[in-house]
Amino acid sequence: MDILGALTAAHHLRGIVSEVRRGPQKDWEKDENAFLTHFGVPFEEYALIVSHMTDEQRNLLEKTIAVNPEAAVLWVLAMEETG
């Protein structure tokens, strides 16, 4: 498991969410406890899924975050690992 990669990806995505949002941030975008309350899973689980994404999937994730961050997170959490 690439824990450092997962943490790096999580940190990168947090920065993207902060930069591309128009208007005030939601609590779950800046607080891990609020993320857990809102989505029902810890942020680390989300970050782990992101760390297994392909470059193409990450690119799509970034574009989705720019438009609708909540939908982007839900998309990631709905993913199932294949292979």
3-47 pLDDT tens trace: 666 667 776 777 666 555 556 789 999 999 999 999 999 999 999
Cα 53 to Cα 61: distance, rounded to the nearest angstrom:
9
Does residue 80 carry a pLDDT above 90? no
- Whether 61 is covered by a domain: the verdict is yes
The pLDDT value recorded for residue 14 is 72
CB atoms within 10 A of CB 43: 19
Contact 48, 58 (CB under 8 A): no
Does residue 83 lie within any of the structural domains?
no
In a domain, 82, yes or no: no
* Per-residue model confidence as pLDDT tens digits over 62-73: 999 988 999 999
Q: What is the pTM of this model?
A: 0.70
Range of the domain at 19: 3-77
Q: Classify residue 29: in a domain, yes or no.
A: yes
Residue 50 above 90 pLDDT? Answer: yes
Specify the amino acid at residue 66: A
What's the total number of domains in the chain?
1
